[in-house]
Amino acid sequence: MSGSSYSTVTSIIIQYSCVIGSGSSDTSSSSSEDSSSDTSGEVGGNQYSLVTSAAQLTIGDSYLITATNSSAYYAAGTFSSTYLTSVSITSPVSNIITIDSEAVASFVLGGTSGAYTLTSSAGQLYSSAAKNVNYSSNGSGTWAITISGSIATIQNTTSSYGSLQYNSGAPRFTTYTSAQVAVALYKSSSSAPSVTLSSISVTTPPTKTAYVTGEYLDLTGLVVTATFSDSSTEVINSSSYSATPANGSILSTVGTTTITISYTYVGVTKMTTTAVSVSAPATINVTGVTLDQSTLELDVNETATLTQTVAPSNATNKSVNWSSTNPSVASVSSSGLVTALTAGNATITVTTVDQNKTASCEVTVTAVSNPATSYRIQFDTTGTSDSGTSYTTSNIISSGITAGSAYVSSASEVTKVYPGNGGVKLGSSTAAGSFTLALSNSGKVTARKIVVSAKKYSSDSTSISVNSSTGQSVTDANYKEYEFAITGAITTLNVAGTGKRFYISYIDVFYGEQENVTLTSVVISKSTLSLAKDATSTLTASYTPANVYPAPSLAWSTENASIATVSGGVVTGKGEGTTNIVATATQGSTVVTASCAVTVTIAANYTVKTMAYDYQDYMDNNYYSNMDSMPTTETVNLLVIPVQLSTGTTMTADTRSRIQKAYFGTEAETGWHSVSSFYNEESNGRLNITGVVSPIYNASYGATITQAQTTTLVTTATNWYKTNYSTNSGKEFDSNSDGYIDGVILIYSAENNYGNNDNLWAYCYWTSVNANTSSPVANTYFWASYDFMDESDNCLIDAHTYIHETGHVMGLDDYYNYDSASSYGAAGGFNMQDFNVGEHDPYSRVALGWIDPIVPTGSTTLTIAPGQAVILSPNDLSSNSPFDEYLILDVYSPTGLNEFDSTYKYGSMYPKGPSVTGIRVWHVDARLMRNYSGSGVPTLATTISSGNDYYHAMSNSTNSTYGSMYSGYRSYKLLHLLQCGGTNTYATGGQFAAADIWTVGKSFSMSSYASFFVNSGKLNSNTDLPYSFSVTAISGTNVTISIVKS
Over the stretch 464-519, which tens digit does the pLDDT of each residue have? 444 433 332 323 323 344 455 444 444 444 444 433 444 455 565 554 555 678 89
| Local structure of 735: helix, strand or coil | coil
pLDDT at 287: 95
User: Which of helix, strand or coil describes residue 594?
Assistant: strand
**Domain co-membership, 643 together with 774:** yes
pLDDT band of 62, cuts 50, 70, 90: confident
The domain boundary residue, chosen from 191, 225, 253? 191
Give the range among 504-513, 837-846, 918-927, 982-991 with minimum mean pLDDT.
Answer: 504-513
Q: Residues 765-788: pLDDT tens digits?
A: 999 999 999 999 999 999 999 999
Task: Evaluate if residue 671 carries a pLDDT over 80.
Answer: yes
* DSSP H helices in 688-750: 707-724
Tell me: the pLDDT tens digits for 210-243? 999 989 999 999 999 999 888 889 999 888 899 9
- Whether residue 241 is found in the same domain as residue 107: no
Say what the pLDDT of residue 971 is.
94
Do 201 and 184 lie in one domain? The reply is: no
Amino acid at 902: S
- For residue 440, the model assigns a pLDDT of 38
- Of the candidates 35, 52, 42, the residue with the CA atom closest to the CA atom of residue 19: 42
- Please say if the pLDDT value at position 33 is more than 60: no
DSSP-assigned letter for residue 577: E
Tell me, yes or no, whether 693 lies in a domain: yes
pLDDT, position 549: 81
Q: Is residue 620 part of a domain?
A: no
Contact 366, 297 (CB under 8 A): yes
Question: 9 and 33: one domain?
Answer: yes
Mean pLDDT throughout 616-638? Answer: 92
Instruction: Give the separation between CA 523 and CA 594, rounded to whole angstroms.
Output: 6
In a domain, 668, yes or no: no
Cβ(43)–Cβ(192) below 8 Å: no
Q: 171: pLDDT confidence band, cut at 50, 70 and 90?
A: low
Confidence at 51, pLDDT banded by 50, 70, 90: confident
Residues 202 and 325 in one domain: no
The residue among 279, 303, 324 that closes a domain is: 279
CA distance 184 to 56: 13
Checking if the pLDDT of 594 tops 60, the result is: yes
Instruction: Classify residue 934 as exposed, middle or buried by CB count within 10 Å of its CB (0-12, 13-18, 19+).
Output: exposed
In whole angstroms, what is the distance from residue 999 CA to residue 1004 CA? 11
Distance CA 275, CA 245 (A): 11
Both 168 and 238 in one domain: the answer is no
In this prediction, residue 179 carries a pLDDT of 62
- Classify residue 678: in a domain, yes or no: no
* Model pLDDT for residues 91-114, shown as the tens digit of each residue: 233 333 444 444 444 577 888 888
Question: What pLDDT does residue 93 have?
Answer: 30
Q: Which has the minimum average pLDDT: 346-360, 392-406, 535-549?
A: 392-406
Give the end of a domain, one of 333, 366, 399. Answer: 366
CATH of the domain at 76: 2.80.10.50
CA pair distance 397, 381, nearest whole angstrom: 11
How large is the angle between the packed helices 675-682 and 800-809, nearest 10 degrees?
A: 60
Peptide bond into 842 cis (omega under 30): no
Residue 648: which pLDDT band, with cuts at 50, 70 and 90?
A: confident
Cα 192 to Cα 405: distance, rounded to the nearest angstrom: 94
Residue 424: is its pLDDT beyond 60? no
* Position 467 in a domain: yes
Say whether both 227 and 187 belong to one domain: no
CA neighbor of 44 nearest in space, from 123, 97, 121, 86: 97
Residue 873 has pLDDT above 60, yes or no: yes
Structural domains of the chain, count: 7
C-alpha triplet 179, 184, 189: angle, nearest 5°:
155
Asked if residue 1004 has pLDDT above 70, the reply is yes
Q: What does the pLDDT look like over 953-974, one tens digit per residue?
A: 999 998 888 899 999 999 999 9
- 218-224-225 Cα angle (round to 5): 170
What is the enclosing helix (H) or strand (E) of 408? strand 406-409
CA distance 49 to 57: 12
In-domain check, residue 963: yes
Pair 917, 892: CB distance under 8 Å: yes
Mean pLDDT of 761-766: 94
Domain contains 1015: yes
Residues 554 and 455 occupy one common structural domain: no
Distance of CA 942 to the CA centre of its chain: 28
Q: Which domain holds residue 770?
A: 630-660+687-801
Element (H, E) at 618: helix 615-620
C-alpha dihedral sign at 1018, 1020, 1022, 1028: negative
Look at the alpha carbons of 524, 525, 526, 530 in this order and tell me if their dihedral is positive or negative: negative
CA angle 868, 873, 875 (to 5 degrees): 135
Whether 675 is covered by a domain: the verdict is no
The Cα 413–Cα 750 span in angstroms is 55
CATH code of the domain covering residue 336: 2.60.40.1080
Quickly state the pLDDT bin for 151 (edges 50, 70, 90): confident
Q: In whole angstroms, what is the distance from residue 963 CA to residue 133 CA?
A: 35
Give 164's pLDDT tier (boundaries 50, 70, 90).
confident
Strand blocks (E) in 23-73: 25-26, 40-43, 46-50, 62-67
Instruction: Give the whole-number percent of the chain exceeding pLDDT 90.
Output: 57
394 closest CA partner among 362, 424, 420, 370: 424
Look up the pTM and report it.
Answer: 0.49
Spatial CA neighbour of 432 closest among 493, 388, 392 = 388
Q: Is the per-residue pLDDT at 155 higher than 60?
A: yes
| Contact between 642 and 655 (Cβ < 8 Å) | yes
Per-residue CA distances from 557 to 599, 602, 690 (Å): 15, 22, 42
Cis peptide, bond prior to residue 245, ω within 30 of zero: yes
Tell me: the pLDDT tens digits for 710-758? 999 999 999 999 999 998 999 999 999 999 999 999 999 999 988 899 9
Cis ω before 312 (30° cut-off from 0): yes
Q: State the average pLDDT for the chain.
A: 80
Mean pLDDT over residues 986-994, rounded? 96
pLDDT-derived band at 692, boundaries 50, 70, 90: very high
- In terms of domains, do 999 and 918 share one? yes
- pLDDT range class, residue 88, cuts 50, 70, 90: very low
Residue pair 697/643 in contact (Cβ under 8 Å)? The answer is: yes
Please indicate, yes or no, whether residues 71 and 94 belong to a single structural domain of this protein: yes
Q: Say whether both 169 and 214 belong to one domain.
A: no
Nearest to 563 by CA among 602, 518, 619, 511: 602
Q: What is the CATH number of the domain that holds 210?
A: 2.60.40.3630
The CATH number that applies at residue 444 is: 2.60.120
Q: Do residues 847 and 982 both lie within one domain?
A: yes
Output the CA–CA distances (angstroms, integers) from residue 957 to 544, 560, 809, 841, 976, in the order listed: 47, 51, 20, 17, 12
**How large is the angle between the packed helices 675-682 and 653-664, nearest 10 degrees?**
0
Q: Which of 183-187, 247-251, 864-868, 884-888 has the lowest average pLDDT? A: 183-187
